[in-house]
Amino acid sequence: MNAATQIPGGNHENTMSELAIQLTDVSLKYNDFTALDGVSFDVEAGQTLALLGHNGAGKSSLIKIILGLIQPTRGSVNILGQNAQASQARNSVCLGYLPEDASFYDKLTGYEVLRYFAALKGVSQQRVASLIEEFGLEYAQHRQLKTYSKGMKQRLGVAQAILSEPKVLLLDEPTVGLDPQASQFLYGKINQLKQAGCAVVISTHELSLAESHLDRALIMAKGKRLALGSCAELRSACTLKTCIDFSELSERVKSNAYLQQFYQDGLLQIATSQKSEVVQHLVTQCQVFDFEIKEPRLEDIYHDLMGQTLRSSVEQS
């Protein structure tokens, strides 16, 4: 995640940029069960958002609300500047969607499936052919889907979602079943769509891929928004320390009165906000130049924030 493209605080509500997705105070009940509880966030055109959270956190429900497949019990949803109830905003050409349990009629061939969606969306046969080739399905395009592996079906599903070069792309766990090369390829494609101004929301449990490729993350817990921001912003919100590991002149560091306070287990352990101050001190006061800064990864941050929530819900009960 690239902090440079983010707005401090992870709050984009007041920017001049074009908002592609805007959810305000969205709640959803399935009978008596509250699946989503007062969730607000927005995604600008050309921005990518990872939707993270435990099983049952509400990620797929949120995606279905954006698509208009289910209606929220409360709150408003705007897509491409229009209230989501307006059919135009849901024009299938503008939206691309990969459901988490994507399945197509298995007597059709891969080519027939894409040709069918291309006809629905007014997409050329040329694009169908080029996507089949790009997704490595050329050799199997005339085979029935019942002969496809899980990853082959997933590639087809993703190709279907991006067929019309949508303005809003919603992918529910797109890398499940994809091999590492196919996942890299998919994120490359997502980057191309982002450059063309597409807003992308991806629900995933693969935190390292999300950290490397997506701009921001929305972390959900029990239907609520737990945190939202770039990796740098989430890092500041968690309790984890940044560690500085140094191999040379450790005595100089250990005996330095200012640095002593941070010295623990052979490392300097500091709050993320103190990083530049401590690094400057290391270089100018201790002449230590050979060191490694180890910042918490998104996976560590996720577990830390989830742990805080579980702890506070236990304390409240």
Ligand X SMILES: Nc1ncnc2c1ncn2[C@@H]1O[C@H](COP(=O)(O)OP(=O)(O)OP(=O)(O)O)[C@@H](O)[C@H]1O
Q: Is 165 helix (H, G, I), strand (E, B) or coil?
A: coil
Residue 160 has φ and ψ, to the nearest 5°, of: -60, -40
At CA 201, angle to CA 196 and CA 207, rounded to 5? 115
Interacting residue with ligand X among 6, 47, 61, 175 (CB under 6 A): 61
Whichever of 30 and 289 has its CB closer to ligand X, that residue is: 30
Interacting positions 60-99 with Mg ion (CB under 5 A): 60
- Report the distance separating Cα 175 and Cα 222, nearest Å: 23
Q: Which amino acid is at 208?
A: S
Q: Does 71 bind ligand X (CB under 6 A)?
A: no
Least spacing, CB of residue 51 vs ligand X, in Å: 8
Whichever of 100 and 295 has its CB closer to Mg ion, that residue is: 100
Q: Can you tell me which residue has the tokens 């050409």?
A: 93
- Report the distance separating Cα 296 and Cα 25, nearest Å: 30
Q: Does 234 bind ligand X (CB under 6 A)?
A: no
Percentages helix, strand, coil for the chain (3-state, rounded to 5) are: 40, 25, 30
Q: Does 30 bind ligand X (CB under 6 A)?
A: yes
Least spacing, CB of residue 54 vs ligand X, in Å: 7
- Report the distance separating Cα 139 and Cα 135, nearest Å: 11
112: enclosing H helix or E strand: helix 110-121
Least spacing, CB of residue 94 vs ligand X, in Å: 23
Which of Mg ion, ligand X, none interacts with 139 (beta carbon under 5 to 8 A by kind)?
none
Q: Does 56 bind ligand X (CB under 6 A)?
A: yes
Whichever of 8 and 56 has its CB closer to ligand X, that residue is: 56
- Contact positions vs ligand X (CB under 6 A): 30, 33, 35, 53, 55-61, 100
Q: Which residues bind Mg ion (CB under 5 A)?
A: 59-60, 100
